[in-house]
Every structure is written in structure tokens, then in C-alpha cells.
Amino acid sequence: MVNEVLKKERDYKMTKLSPLQIERLKYQPKLPSSLKGGINSLEMVEGSATQSVADQEEIRNLFPNTYGKPTVTFKSSSFSKSSEARNVGVILSGGQAPGGHNVIAGLYDALKNSNPNSKLYGFLGGPSGIIDGKYVEFDDEFINAYRNTGGFDIIGSGRTKLETEDQFQESLKVCQKLGISAVVIIGGDDSNTNAALLAEWFTNHNTGIQVIGCPKTIDGDLKNDQIEISFGFDTATKTYAELIGNIERDANSAKKYWHFVKIMGRSASHVALEAALQTQPNITLISEEVEAKQMSLDSIVSYMTDIIVKRAAMGKNFGIAIVPEGLIEFIPEMKSMIANLNDIMAELETDPSFMNATSMHDKFAIVEKRLDDVNASVYSSLPVGIKAQLLADRDPHGNVQVSKIETEKLLIEMISNKLSELKSRGEYIGKFSAQSHFFGYEGRCAFPSNFDADYCYSLGYNAYALISNGLSGYLSSVKNLTASADQWIAGGVPLTMMMNMEKRHGAMKPVIKKALVELDGPVFKQLADNREDWAMNDRYLFPGAVQYFGPSSVCDITTVTLRLEQSKQLAGV
């Protein structure tokens, strides 16, 4: 039975649809040609055996049942087989990303295509739903209300970790109660680490339950040779680029403000880099470059100040600066301090003297005493607001929540101070008025672009292809994405292939390795080759809103990042 509360919400939404929503519900996503014939007419082709990206011995020992499996691809077959009815569960995990609903729609359609008597259950509120036994059973009416829409509100999401024996046992009980023989986890690197752990446990305990992952994150850091892009990245970056383009046009009209735009992306700068390539701002900071060049906070401020001074000398007291959300963790002295802080905060969270401190200044003092001398000096030098943000609630992995650190405002304050010093020495004659922006949540639940609508539907459809072929511990993979959708290549990659060991909560744990910006790659090179020109000259681009209807050259284009990366591979570079 469909949960009555969700049913009422869905029914209400269906009476309040905008013209765009009505048209988007009608859109039929495109599929790779190999999947168009249906699930029962697929042939699976195995590739070579795989190994983890690092720490092979440790990962193999932790995943003895799912390690070393081959990559697979699918091709259409001339003969069709019958399939028994299956019950499948699906989980939306982690932060929202445009297209998640289409993954579920694709999974549902494939499951029903295989056998109309199959059932799809959605676990509510993320991974906790499979532990607590909170779910809905999907039907045509329910699924049809969410096709091609943004958000994860169809069943909600959450960040509960799946990693303990008790959690696995409870998940098994729920699956057995519902007759579920496969679970699909739609999430990012941490969520798919959960999928790998659950797949290993289910296999080790001979439960007969398969686990398949789908690559989601607007951050763009879940990718490799087999996963060309994570879903949601295309839509989110186009949404941010529209907003930045609007701000650029405003700046070029008013000619009196510097706009500092922080863009979501905790560990990698893919989103900031893609948005910059689409809009060509005056300054773009890339976290990975900052770390590689060992740039201090002061050197970053000096770099930005120099551009502001030079533009002022040209009579341009305005500009646009792009700042990645995770920048602060890549600045060497800040990275060292934050790592030290993450370790001691795990202890301080149970320390009565810290937890019962009556003022933030008392907490600052306790933290500074625990930090190493150099890190304590860095921490004490920060503005009070930033110091407080560094002590805010940790994320589920015990790390600083960098989205709560107002890096853009820190830079504005420090640049303003430096400009005042230069002005007092007669080395700066301009005016500096700054506006700060943070673009994050604005892009996570947007209507998916045609690319993401097609890609996500294909990922979900393909996930059931993996299930129907008996695989577990795999990530749904759709490749060749710069070609038309019918030429996309559907298949799967073992989750263990992407894993390494990292320190979490003070202990080494297996996790999927994040893909950071490659400074020797074609995407960063495009920025590096143009940034001096963009700094002094106003080469602003105005991408405008995401387009859903019209010629394919407008509506189905992929990101600059994907086009540059794939052109490099095609050229054999």
C-alpha cells in the first residue's frame, strides 16, 4: 500500500502543476540502443578482472566475496528469455542531485518490463528506511507523478551510515519481510561505500540479496574511466552558471561591486571549474591548485588583491571571483589545522569541560590548548566567526562541515584590510565594495536537464539489468556520453575497484576514492590558458536558463568538462 501521507502530498502536487511541470512529465527519456529491446533481450559481456585503486591487500581482505570482479557491458540479443517476478528496494542517500527521480523511474520501468508482477519498494528517509522498515510500494500512478522532476521528495533522503552488524541484520529482516532480493542505493562516494559494505555482508551471509549502486553527486567527484560523470553535475553546473552569468551582467552594468561567489563542492573543485568555463569570471580559485602550489591564505589574498588593484587602475572597480566551497581545507596551514581539529574534536565531544563551557571564547581556549602549537597559532589568528564555524556540528564522518564556513566572507575581509594598507601607502586608488553569494542548494533540486533526465533514466534501467544478470557489489555505468543517447554504452563496474583506505573518525576505513581536479588535464588547462585574459578583460558569458525544448544542439549539450575530457580520450592523449 502506498503510504497515505505521501499519497496525499503527491495528489496535492498534481493539482498545482506549472505549465513546465506538465510538459516535463510528458518527456520520454532516451535510452542506449542496447537497452531499448528490454531487459529480457540483453546479453552480458564480461571485461577483465579488476582491483582497487589503492591499498589492494587491505581492500581484498575486507571484501573477499566481492573483490576483483570484472567490468561488464550489455548488448542486445536476438532472443528473449523469461524472467521471474522480483521484489526490489531502492534508497536515495546523501544530498539531493537533479535526476534522482528518473533513476527510480528507469529502475521501475525495467523491472516491470522484465516481469509485470515484479514490485519496487522505496525506503523512506534514506538508508535509515531499510533499517527501520519504513517504505512505500510504488505503482504506475505514483511513479508517473515524479518523472523528469527535480528533488528527492518521492521518498526523501538521509545520511545514515550502513556499516554495523546490527544495521545489516535489521536490513536483512526488512528485506526478508518484503521478499526483496535486490537493493539499489542511489548516492555519492560515501553512499556507494555503504553499498559495497552491504553487498559484501549480504554475500558473505548467503542471503541471496544483491546490492547495486548508482553514481550521484553534483560535486562531480565520483568518476573514473568507467564512470564518466556523476548524475546531477550537468544540471547543477548549468543552474549555477545561469546565476553567475546574471551576476556578471549586473556587475558589468552597475560597475561598482566585486561579487565573491562560493560554489558547492566540498572536496573537489569540479563544479567551480565547470561554472567558470561556462561564464569566464575574472578570478577562479581551484582548491587542488592551491594545495599543489602550497599557497598560504596570505598568498591567495595577495593574488586576488593584485587583480583587484590592476583592474582599479583601469577604472574597473568591479569583477567576479569564484571560490570553491572546500577551498579552506586545501590551504596547507588550514588543512593541517583542520585535520588536527577533526582528531581532537572526536575527543572533545565527550569532554565535560568543553561540552559544558558557557562561552565560545572558553571553547576557543580549550581547543587552542589541545591543538599542536603551529595549528593553535593558525586557529587563534582567524576571525571569531570563522573559529566558531570550525567548531560547528561535524558531518557523519566526524569532519568539519565546510559549507558552514563562510570562506568568501573571510576573503572579502582580508582583501579589504590589505587594500586599506595599500591605499594608506598610495598604492591603490580604487573603491572596493563587495557582495558575497553562496550557490549550493539552488542547484541540487532543479528540474534535470535533458542530459540528466536521459542519463539518470538509463542508469536506473541499467541497474535492473545488472540485477537480472545476478550481479552484486556493482555500480551502474553508462559511458560514451558525448555521443547521442542511442550510442551510450550500458554496463557495470565493481564498487571495490574504486576503493582505498582513508582515515575517518580517527580510524582507517575503506571508502571510494574521490576524483579531484587533475591539474595536468584538459579541463583545468582550459582555465589556466585563459585566466590572465579573463582577469583583466571582461569576457563574461551569459549561459541563460537550462533549455528543455528546441534543437538538440541547445537542449542536449553536455558540460564543458565532459566534452574536454572525452575529446582527450578520443584523441588518445
Co-location of 303 and 388 in the same domain: yes
Look at the chain and report how many structural domains it folds into. Answer: 2
Q: What DSSP string runs through 70-133?
A: EEEEEEE-SS-------EEEEEE-SS--TTHHHHHHHHHHHHHHH-TT-EEEEETTTTHHHHHT
Please give the model's pTM, rounded to 2 decimal places. 0.93
Place of cell 574534536: 345
Burial-class residue 179 by CB neighbours within 10 Å (0-12, 13-18, 19+): exposed
Co-location of 111 and 257 in the same domain: no
Instruction: Note the pLDDT of residue 536.
Output: 98
What Rg value do the Cα atoms of the chain yield, rounded? 25
Identify whether 411 is part of a domain.
yes
Co-location of 184 and 250 in the same domain: no
Co-location of 463 and 532 in the same domain: no
Q: Please choose, from the candidates 326, 463, 462, 343, the residue with its C-alpha nearest in 3D space to the C-alpha of residue 399.
A: 343
Co-location of 312 and 175 in the same domain: no
Co-location of 117 and 190 in the same domain: yes
Beta strands in 188-303 (DSSP E): 210-215, 258-263, 283-284
* Distance in angstroms (rounded) separating the CA atoms of residues 362 and 389: 15
Co-location of 433 and 472 in the same domain: no
Residue 315, domain CATH: 3.40.50.460
Name the catalytic one among 109, 153, 190, 219.
219
* Distance in angstroms (rounded) separating the CA atoms of residues 125 and 110: 24
Co-location of 422 and 306 in the same domain: yes
* Distance in angstroms (rounded) separating the CA atoms of residues 265 and 272: 8
CA end-to-end distance (rounded Å), the chain: 54
Co-location of 360 and 276 in the same domain: yes
Phi, psi of 51 (to 5 degrees): -145, 165
Instruction: Note the pLDDT of residue 123.
Output: 98
CA dihedral 366, 367, 370, 376 (to 10 degrees): -120
Identify whether 223 is part of a domain.
yes
Identify whether 558 is part of a domain.
no
User: Does residue 298 have an active-site annotation?
Assistant: no
Instruction: Note the pLDDT of residue 2.
Output: 52
The length of the chain is 573
Co-location of 113 and 243 in the same domain: no
Instruction: Note the pLDDT of residue 350.
Output: 85
Instruction: Note the pLDDT of residue 573.
Output: 44
Co-location of 453 and 494 in the same domain: yes
* Distance in angstroms (rounded) separating the CA atoms of residues 244 and 262: 11
**Beta-carbon-side half-sphere exposure of residue 194 (alpha carbons within 13 Å):** 30
Q: Give the pLDDT of the chain (573 residues) as one tens digit per residue.
A: 457 777 777 777 777 888 999 999 999 999 999 999 999 999 999 999 999 999 999 999 999 999 999 999 999 988 888 899 999 999 999 999 999 999 999 999 999 999 999 999 999 999 999 999 999 999 999 999 999 999 999 999 999 999 999 999 999 999 999 999 999 999 999 999 999 999 999 999 999 999 999 999 999 999 998 899 999 999 999 999 999 999 999 999 999 999 999 999 888 999 999 999 999 999 999 999 999 999 999 999 999 999 999 999 999 999 999 999 999 989 999 989 988 998 898 888 888 999 899 899 999 999 999 999 999 999 998 888 888 888 886 666 667 777 778 999 999 999 999 999 999 999 999 999 999 999 999 999 999 999 999 999 999 999 999 999 999 999 999 999 999 999 999 999 999 999 999 987 778 999 999 999 999 999 999 999 999 999 999 999 999 999 999 999 899 999 999 999 998 665 554
- Report whether 431 contacts 318 (CB < 8 A): no
Owning domain of residue 155: 4-232+448-504
Q: Please choose, from the candidates 224, 287, 171, the residue with its C-alpha nearest in 3D space to the C-alpha of residue 499.
A: 224
Return all residues near 145 (Cβ < 8 A) that are at least 6 apart: 10, 13, 14, 25
Identify whether 224 is part of a domain.
yes
Instruction: Note the pLDDT of residue 1.
Output: 47
DSSP category for residue 403? G
The string of pLDDT tens digits covering residues 539-564 is 999 999 999 999 998 999 999 999 99
Co-location of 226 and 254 in the same domain: no
